[in-house]
A and B are shown apart, each in its own frame.
Chain A
Amino acid sequence: MLDSFSRSAARRARRQYVGLMFRFMGHALEAISRFDKTVIDEARGMPDGLVFQMTVLPSGPALAIEHTGDGVLRYLGSRYDGPVDLSIRFKHLAHAFLVLSFQEKTVEAFANDRMVVDGDIALAVRMTRILNRLEAIILPRLIARRAIKEYPAELGLLEKLPGAIGVYRRVAFSMIRDLRKEALSQ
C-alpha cells in the first residue's frame, strides 16, 4: 500500500520535473537567442514563423517555441496547441526524464529510438545543435559533458559565466511572471 503510494508519488514527481524542465528550457531558449551569437546564427537558418514542439507521448508535457525571425526565439508556453512545423516526441515520459535529468544525451536518445521526429530532418539537426549549445552554456561543465557529445572547446568561463547568469536571470523573471499569471487565473 505504502509502496504503491510512493511509486505513484515518484511518477508524479517525475512528470512534474519534466514539465518544469520544459518550461525552463522554453524560457532559456528565448533568453539565449537574445545574446548568444552561435544560437542566433543557427536559428537564422530556420524559416521565419517556424514552430518547434518538444513533447511527450501521448499527451504531454510539452514545450513549444517559435522562430519569430532574425534568429530570435519565442517561448509559446506549455499549452500551445496551434500548428507545429517540427516536432520531437518522446515515446514515453521515462525517456524524456532520462534526457532531461542528464542521464542520457540528446543524441543518445536519438540513437536509442527514444523519440519520433516529424518534419524537416535538417531543421531537427539544427534544433539539436541549439539545444546542445543551450546545455553547454547553462549547465555546469561536469553535467554538460554528460548531456552533449562534445563540450565546445572554445567555450571558456569568460564566455560561459555571463551567458549562464544572463539566461538564469531572464528565466527566473519570466518563470515567476508565468507562475503568477497561472496562480491568478486559477
Chain B
Amino acid sequence: MSRYYEFFCPVKVIAGEAALEHLPYELTSIASVRPMIVTDAGVRAAGLLEPVIAACTESDVTFAAIYDEVPPDSSTTTVREIANLYRQQQCDAIIAIGGGSSIDTAKAVNILVSEGGDDIAAYSGAGVLTRPLRPFFVVPTTAGTGSEVTSVAVIADTERSVKLPFTSSFLLPNAAIIDPRMTLTLPPHITAATAMDALTHATEAYTCLARNPLSDAYATAAIKKIGRSLLAVMDNPDDVQGRLDLAEASTMAGIAFSNSMVGLVHSLGHATGAICHLPHGLCMSLYLPYVLEYNLEDIREPLSELLLYLEGPEVWAATPASRRAETTISAVRHLRDELHHRCELPRTLRETGKVKQSQLDNIARQALDDGSIIYNPREASLKDVRSLLEKAWG
C-alpha cells in the first residue's frame, strides 16, 4: 500500500432513472446553445439517439450538428473531420454518445476545437494541455470501459500507423450521464465482455501497486454491483436496476483504475488486442484468473478481501481465511463458465478461434513493453509472461 497517493475525479455523475432528461438543464446552465453530438452508426441504428434528442428538444435545446460515423478504431482523420464540422456549425459543446471509441474521439476533437489547428498529433503525450477545454458531456452506451471518467484518449494515426496517446485531466468531461435506457439493448456477449472489463479494472485497481484508500472504496463498490447483477442481467436483459448496477459499476471501476492504474491483465490484453484484433473486454475475461494466480502470493490479502464483495458475506464467512484468495479466483472462473454457458464468451485463447499459438511469443514481447506492467505487483519476465500465455491458451 502506498505511503503517498493522489486521487482526482472532478466529473459530475448524473445517474439513474430519467438521467437523460437532466442533460438540457446541464447544457443551459453553461449557456450552451449549439451543442454537437459525436456518436457512431451502431448507436444510431440501435435507436439510442432518439431518447437523448427527445429529452433535449422537449426543453427547447436543439443540436447544431450530429456526427454519427465514428469508426470502431477512430483515427486522426475522423478527429479532424469532426473538428471541422464543429467549427463550421459554430458549436459550443460536445456530447459523446457511445462506447470507448466515440468517447475517445470526442476527447480528441475537444482538444482541436479548444486549442485550434488541425494537427492532433501535436497534442499527444502527457501534460501538453495547460488549460480547460470546451464543455464536454459523455453518455456511455456500454458498461465497461469507464472512459467517461478517465483522463486518457488513444487515437490511431493512420498515416504514420502509430497509436497516439493523450493524457490530461482536461480531457475529463464536465459530466457523465448514466441512464439505464442506454445499455438496455446491449447484446449479451457485449454485456458480458464489457462487464468483465469493468471487473478487471476494479480488481487490478485493488490489487496493483498504486492502490489507495479512495480508489479501493470505488473498486470494492464496483465489484459488489457486478457480482450481484451481471448474471441477473444475462438472464433477464430487461432488468433495469441490474443494467443500472452494471453501468454504475463501470463508472466506479473507471474512477478506481484511473487513479490507481491497472496491471498485467491489461498489458496482456493490450498486446492481444493489437496483434489478434480481439475486443478489449474479451481479452480481460481471458486473462483475469491466470494473472491473479500468477500474482497470488503478492496479493493474497487484498484478493481475500475481494471475496466479500464478489460473493457476498455468506460465502466469505464460510470460507476459511487461508482459502479466501483462492476462492476469489475460483469465483472469477465460475463467473466465466456461466458467461460461456449463456453467450459463449470464450474462456481460453484457443476457444476464441482467432489466436494462433505462433502469435504467443509476439504477444508476450509486446505485453512486456506495455505501460500498465509497471504497476503489476510482480516483476514479470518474458519467461513468466510466456508461461502465463501457455496456461491461458487452454
A-side interface residues toward B, CB under 8 Å? Answer: 45, 107-108, 110-114, 116-119, 121-126, 128, 132, 148-150
The CA of A132 and the CA of B380, in the complex, are separated in Å by 13
Contact status A122-B375, CB under 8 Å? no
Q: How far is the CB of B116 from chain A (nearest CB, A)?
A: 22
Name the contact of B369 in the complex, choosing from A122, A148, A149 (C-beta under 8 A).
Answer: A122
Which residues in B have some Cβ–Cβ distance to A below 8 Å?
Answer: 2-6, 125-127, 165, 208-210, 260-261, 368-371, 373-375, 377-379
How many whole Å from B269's CB to the nearest CB in chain A? 15
Give CA–CA (A112, B378) in the complex, Å: 17
Q: Are B379 and A150 in contact (CB under 8 A)?
A: yes
Are B126 and A117 in contact (CB-based, < 8 A)?
yes
How long is the Cα–Cα vector from A164 to B271 in the complex, in angstroms?
35
Other A-B pairs, 13, CB within 8 Å; known A107-B209, A122-B370 = A110-B374, A111-B210, A111-B261, A111-B374, A112-B3, A112-B6, A112-B210, A113-B4, A113-B6, A117-B126, A124-B371, A128-B374, A150-B379
Nearest-CB distance from A15 to chain B (Å)?
21
- Rounded to whole angstroms, the CA-CA distance of A110 and B165 in the bound complex is 18
Residue of A nearest to B8 (CB): A113
| Alpha-carbon gap, A143 to B249, bound state (A) | 41
Q: Which 8 A-B pairs have the closest CB atoms?
A: A111-B210, A150-B379, A122-B369, A121-B371, A149-B379, A111-B209, A112-B4, A113-B6
Instruction: Kindly identify which residue among A108, A122, A149 contacts B2, using a CB–CB cutoff of 8 Å.
Output: A108
**Could you say which residues of chain B place their CB within 8 Å of the CB of A126?**
369
The interface residues of chain B lying within 8 Å CB-to-CB of A116 are 126-127
In the complex, are the beta carbons of B4 and A125 less than 8 A apart? no
Q: B125 near A119 (CB under 8 angstroms)?
A: yes
9 contacts between A and B (CB under 8 A): A110-B210, A111-B260, A112-B210, A117-B126, A118-B126, A121-B370, A124-B371, A125-B370, A125-B371
In the bound complex, residues from chain A placing their C-beta under 8 Å from that of B261 are: 111
CA distance A117 to B125 in the complex (A): 9
Assembled-state Cα–Cα distance A113/B261 (Å): 11
Q: A116-B127, A148-B379 are in contact. Are A125 and B2 (CB under 8 A)?
A: no
Residues of B within 8 A of A114 (CB): 4
Q: Within the assembled complex, what's the spacing in Å between the Cα atoms of A118 and B379?
A: 23
Shortest Cβ distance from A31 into chain B, in angstroms?
Answer: 23
Residue in B127, B371, B373, B378 whose beta carbon sits within 8 Å of that of A150 in the complex: B378
Contact of A118 among B2, B125, B375 (CB under 8 A): B125
Expressed in whole angstroms, the minimum distance between the Cβ of A75 and any Cβ of chain B is 24
Task: Determine the distance from Cα of A149 to Cα of B6 in the docked complex, in whole angstroms.
Answer: 21
Docked CA distance A112–B5 (Å):
5
**Bound form: Cα–Cα A132–B374 in Å:** 12
> A122: which of B4, B127, B260, B371 is its contact (CB, 8 Å)?
B371
Q: Which residues of B contact A148 (CB under 8 A)?
A: 379
Shortest C-beta distance, A161 to chain B (Å), equals 22
Contacts of A125 in B (CB 8 A): 368-371, 373-374
Asked whether, in the complex, the Cβ of A118 is within 8 Å of the Cβ of B127, the reply is: yes
Which residues of A sit under 8 angstroms from B370, Cβ to Cβ? 121-122, 125
A71 to B126 Cα, complex, angstroms: 27
Residue numbers in A under 8 Å from B375 (CB-CB): 107, 110-111
Q: Distance (Å) between the CB of A87 and the closest chain B CB?
A: 10
Chain B, residue nearest A132 (CB): B379
The interface residues of chain A lying within 8 Å CB-to-CB of B208 are 111
Query: Which A residues lie within 8 Å of B378 (CB)?
Result: 149-150
Instruction: Give every chain B residue within 8 A of A111 (Cβ-Cβ).
Output: 2, 208-210, 260-261, 374-375
Distance of A133 from chain B, by nearest CB (Å): 11
Give A148 to B210 CA distance when docked, in angstroms: 15
Bound state CA distance, A111 and B204, in angstroms? 13
| Separation of A121 and B2 alpha carbons in the complex (Å) | 22
Judge whether A107 and B374 touch: CB under 8 Å. yes
